[in-house]
Structure 1
């Protein structure tokens, strides 16, 4: 099999999730053998709809079990690690912070410690998913990688902690680790309806008015999932060939802030529906940051990455996927 990862073995934690599934799909195309920790997956997940389950090696692995993590890395002789597994829903983190810290921080150090234990037999590249939310509220925007991490809310803090832990393993133990801080990722296959794009798309498929739970003014940076995947691979490639880039954090976004209400209106236009948003909120929802977007100039200049999809193009493609794939059993929840 040909491809940039032909014959290599990649572990993708969170590989059954939204971004992880797309990363798995791309790695398979690139010739990798992909190992994915097994977990409960809805029947209509992208992982199953895209037929990925039967093409991967599924491993019985709880990332909170340090011995099990080391066993899987050893048995599969993993060369590339993409650590995307996380409790990624802000509202859940606000309700259950302790379990979020376990999933997002302890799991990260377990994985990195296992990689360290392997010594020279360890992976060539380890990419850890942080988040733009690790920056917290800053006095100036856009976020740059040299800014301090000022997270205060539970989800944001969990990602900031994992970010710092990962970079510590690079600087202290010379592990080939880097972190990605991505903008808000959207695209086909995201069935987490607590998020803005999936919720709006599902509502439009039903022929209803999308509900905006803020006043519509919060600013966000939106990145198509295929561009997110390309960023992960660019960072992994850099770690395998350029040791001086270990311990780096890389922003990846569209570098173009969009108001929430504007995003909803653009998705309505992509759907072809004739409805108006139902703005019900006031100000910014509790536990969220008002204004967030990234400066991605470093990854563009140093790794040659750039987003390939304009937002409106991506929204048309994304809505088409929801219109085709959301059955009554999903939309009728």
Structure 2
């Protein structure tokens, strides 16, 4: 199964968190297929930001800068835009920031989810699909070697992971209280949650994420301190889970609720590698690019191991994607080496002053040739 671009033509799609890294890529992907995209979000979380350097706002039908915790504005926006599809991506997305401000994290990630579901309940008669984008970290991590399946116990030790697990529970509660699957002929709303791994891609300027930190260290000619070199994560290019999310939404639309529930989108098992291997892969790819492309500006990154005390983060995490493979026929397309190459191409273009909007659209087109009809 591949994406049906015709399905998205003129579909009214409402994205929360559209100014973020992942939300910006989502907005560009949807707009490239002809969807009418509305966004509701705080201002871009970083400076610079993908939203601004790629001029994402130019592709939007409507963009509203507002807080997901402001339920009156949220109700008004949904009532006015009358979306058919809502993709909830607004969040406080960083583990280390959640230790610094847990209340901000819980209020955004938990009450923000409750607010949008309440807004749908009160003002969302037009909405046919609600997809809550959470994280691979919602699982109660037992540090075992097996990938986590969608029916594993939710948990999360740190405030971020725990708040996203709570967001899933809120979604499940609203579905069972107000939008039961057996009553879908009346309310017409399908609801699901989607869990992705460590999403990487061009335009991520966040702090305390491996790839952006590496890119910054290269730009500043500084050695990067690696906190958890042996931690294993399900790395994947941002276009991979976005493709999965959109494929899931197509399936949910007019499906009588059979696709409701939780879904994992991650890399194949052999692509789940330690932090230090990502660093070494990046070094090798940069060396190849330097030798083959005279315009390539990036230097090989230097690093050192930081053995200091740090807040708890999971050491071992893999996702079982059998459900998406078997029921959606969704499969990862880009391996980790190709994903890193795309990031380096994006970054080199950015440093060279190239039109970033075109770079994003070209990468989307390249990926879409594998996944869209």
Same fold (TM over 0.5): yes
Partners of 2:88 and 2:301 in 1: CA distance: 40
Deviations, residues 199-219 of structure 1 (Å, cap 9, x unaligned): 1122123444332112x1111
The number of aligned residues is 324
Counterpart pick for 1:152 among 150, 157, 164: 157
Shift of 1:93: 0.5
Shift of 1:102: 0.5
Match of 2:138 in 1: 134
Partners of 1:82 and 1:285 in 2: CA distance: 33
Shift of 1:95: 1.0
Match of 1:280 in 2: 306
Pairs within 5 Å for 1:1-333: 3-41=6-44, 42=46, 44-56=48-60, 57-118=62-123, 121-138=125-142, 140=144, 141-174=146-179, 175-214=189-228, 216-256=229-269, 257-272=272-287, 273-274=299-300, 276-281=302-307, 285-326=310-351
- On the 8 A contact 1:255/1:293 being kept in 2, the answer is no
In the superposition, the TM-score normalised over structure 2's length comes to: 0.82
Shift of 1:108: 0.4
Deviations, residues 35-69 of structure 1 (Å, cap 9, x unaligned): 11253235531112222112211124322122211
Deviations, residues 111-160 of structure 1 (Å, cap 9, x unaligned): 001111236x2311111011111103126421111100121210011000
**CA, structure 1 residues 110+44, in 2 after alignment: closer, same or farther (shift >3 Å)?**
same
- On the 8 A contact 2:7/2:250 being kept in 1, the answer is no
Shift of 1:97: 0.5
Taking CA–CA contacts closer than 8 Å with sequence separation of 6 or more, which of the two structures ends up with the larger relative contact order?
2
Partners of 2:282 and 2:225 in 1: CA distance: 13
Shift of 1:90: 1.0
- On the 8 A contact 1:170/1:246 being kept in 2, the answer is no
Match of 2:358 in 1: none
Deviations, residues 197-255 of structure 1 (Å, cap 9, x unaligned): 111122123444332112x1111110110112101101211221322335410001003
User: Is the partner of 2:157 in helix, strand or coil?
Assistant: coil
Shift of 1:258: 0.5
- On the 8 A contact 1:9/1:77 being kept in 2, the answer is yes
**CA, structure 1 residues 295+38, in 2 after alignment: closer, same or farther (shift >3 Å)?**
closer
- On the 8 A contact 1:184/1:222 being kept in 2, the answer is yes
- On the 8 A contact 1:202/1:326 being kept in 2, the answer is no
- On the 8 A contact 1:170/1:247 being kept in 2, the answer is no
Shift of 1:326: 4.5
Partners of 2:22 and 2:324 in 1: CA distance: 19
Shift of 1:270: 1.9
